[in-house]
Amino acid sequence: MSKQSKASNEPFWWALFGAGGVVSALFVPVLIALFGLAIPLGWVEAPEYQSMCTLLASPVTRLLLFAIIALCLFHWAHRFRFTLYDGLQLKHLESLILVLTYGSAIVAVIFAGIVIWML
């Protein structure tokens, strides 16, 4: 009568989603406001190239940046996966969606790691 069920391994991805949600909620709005609007529209001065270099020289900044990028990508992957399940009722394509979402996030994170490492 009772179906066989077991505790899922979702917590792995959900923790990344949650951390990514916090990080993106805190950091991304100001970045869009600056790089996307305030700087190009001339409201504020763009950071000097030298300042950017100095900023990115610090291993702490590099690590923080990598963490922010990675968590944002995993946040998107998890959320987009469920949006496809619910919004377009594509759960029957689960395996494909898992590869497309988490897979592309992993690829982008590796790319980010390489780019930061090669600074």
Partner 1 sequence: MAHRSKYTSPRSRRYVKRVPIFWWVRKWNYTKFILRELSSVSVAAYAVILILLVRVVGAGPAEYQEFLEVFQSPVSIGLNIVALAFVLLHSVTWFNLAPKALVIRVRSKVVPPMFIVGMNYAAWIVVSAAVAWILLSP
Partner 2 sequence: MTSDSIKLEVFRYDPGGDGGPLFDTYEVPFGREWVILDALNYVKDNIDGTLSFRWSCRMGVCGSCGMMVDGEPVLTCAAFCRKYAPGPVRVEPLANFPVIRDLVIDMDDFVEKLGRVKPWIIPEHEKPLSEGEYLQSPEQLGDYKKYSSCINCLLCYSACPVYGIEPEFIGPAALALGQRYNLDSRDAGEAERRSVLAADEGVWDCTLVGECTEVCPKGVDPAGAIQRLKVSSTSHWWKSFLMPWSGREKA
Interface residues with partner 1 (CB under 8 A) are 20-22, 24-37, 39-41, 44-49, 51-53, 55-56, 65, 68-69, 72-73, 75-77, 79-80, 82-83, 86-89, 105, 108, 111-112, 115-116, 118-119
For the chain, the straight-line distance linking the first and the last C-alpha, in angstroms and rounded, comes to 60
- CA-to-CA distance for 86 and 12, rounded, in angstroms? 21
Is residue 73 within 8 Å of residue 96, measured between CB atoms?
A: no
By CB under 8 A, tell whether 118 contacts partner 2.
no
- CA-to-CA distance for 77 and 97, rounded, in angstroms? 9
* Min separation Cβ 58 and partner 2, Å: 29
Tokens of 44: 């504020």
CB closer to partner 1 out of 46 and 96? 46
Question: Which chain residues interact with partner 2 by CB under 8 A?
Answer: 1-3, 5-12, 14-15, 18, 82, 85-86, 89, 91
